[in-house]
Amino acid sequence: MKYKEYVKWNRMPTTWCPGCAIGIVFKQLTFTLETLDIPRDELVVVSGIGCSGRAAGYFNTDSVHGTHGRAVSIAEGIKRGNSKLKVIVFSGDGDLIGIGGNHLLHASRRDVDLAVICINNEIYGMTGGQMAPTTKTGTKTLTSVYGNIYNPVNIQGIISSNKRFFYARSSAYHLNHLKRSIKEAIEWNGFAFVDVISYCIENLGRRLGFKNAYEMLFKLKEDFKINAKPQGSLLEGELGIISSDKG
Ligand SMILES: Cc1ncc(C[n+]2csc(CCOP(=O)(O)OP(=O)(O)O)c2C)c(N)n1
Ligand SMILES: [Mg+2]
């Protein structure tokens, strides 16, 4: 199938703000689906709630726009009900790591065959830009006006604590790397997590002094470098794919 056939064009334009990174990631996923040529009736996309969570409604396939934090559990139920389906979760950091953190812990531990694509804008975007568990220490948000005093969740640490795991960190700027990460995650037989470093111009970037989305996008280029052959864990500022087939 051509990538355009994976999109519900009658639902366009999306609700996302101009310049939002979610659309970039959405498009790269449709390109990847074309590469893998997954038939529409063998594919299900599941989202939770949030700006990223709106994506489920834009895929021209069976999809579920679930409740907040439950995308992974809904996806697990679908996969266990029909193991022939390719089940992809497309949701936000607040949804997957915040309220849904417990489900992530256990679905990854159970190594359920899902590809989880996390749009990590380090914020609760939809509700106005509140601090999330992914917000970096020191970042000023709507609810941490003097800067976040907490450490962010170590997503890589959680996923890679399992014997068998797949963890990719990519970004909304590094498109070829992002497509490769999504493709390998979908092909991985087990629980695969793609941490897509993203941004939110309207509810975080403007507060931080970015003039537009373009500036935020190019900050990703400055801040992240691809490590094509990571030894062990990815360091801060590194993008890459780590996995283990043991266990
Ligand atoms: C049970 C419940 N709690 C809180 C909310 C309010 N809420 C809606 S979206 C959201 C955060 C979404 O953040 P994220 O998943 O990072 O998505 P983003 O908007 O940043 O893409 C919250 C807290 C809700 N809808 N349901
Ligand atoms: Mg978010």
pLDDT tens-digit map of 134-161: 999 999 999 999 999 999 999 999 999 9
| Res. 104: pLDDT tops 80 | yes
Residues bordering ligand 2, an ion, CB closer than 5 Å: 92-94, 121, 125
Which of 75-79, 98-102, 192-196, 243-247 shows the lowest mean pLDDT across its residues? 243-247
Helix (H, G, I), strand (E, B) or coil at 205: helix
3-state helix, strand, coil in the chain (%, to 5): 40, 20, 40
**25 touches ligand 1 (CB under 6 Å):** no
| Res. 247: pLDDT tops 90 | no
pLDDT by residue (tens digit) across 192-242? 999 999 999 999 999 999 999 999 999 999 999 999 999 999 999 999 999
pLDDT of residue 231: 92
Average pLDDT over residues 6-18: 97
pLDDT of residue 246: 86
| C-beta pairs of 175-180 under 8 Å, 24+ apart in sequence | 175/24, 175/28, 177/226, 177/239, 178/25, 178/28, 179/28, 179/31, 179/32, 179/35, 180/241
pLDDT of residue 182: 98
Return the percentage of the chain with pLDDT > 90, whole number: 99
Dihedral angle at the C-alpha atoms of 94, 100, 174, 202, nearest 10 degrees?
Answer: -20
Average pLDDT over residues 27-37: 98
Average pLDDT over residues 62-85: 98
| Res. 123: pLDDT tops 80 | yes
> 185-198 burial, b if ≥16 CB within 10 A, otherwise e?
bbebebbbbbbbbb
- What the block records as the tokens of 150 is 């907490």
pLDDT of residue 200: 98
Query: Which residue's CA is minimally distant from atom 4 of ligand 1?
Result: 68
| pLDDT confidence tier of residue 22, bands split at 50, 70 and 90 | very high
Strands 238-245 and 86-92: unpaired
| Res. 244: pLDDT tops 80 | yes
pLDDT of residue 54: 96
Q: Tokens 């529409």 sit at which residue? A: 40
Distance 4 CA to ligand 2 centre (A): 26
What's the DSSP call for residue 91? E
Which of 126, 195, 203 is the pocket-test mutation for ligand 1 (most atoms within 8 Å of CB)? Answer: 126
| pLDDT confidence tier of residue 56, bands split at 50, 70 and 90 | very high
Main-chain dihedrals φ then ψ at residue 80, nearest 5 degrees: -70, -30
Dihedral angle at the C-alpha atoms of 79, 244, 53, 144, nearest 10 degrees?
Answer: 140
Q: Tokens 């052959």 sit at which residue? A: 229
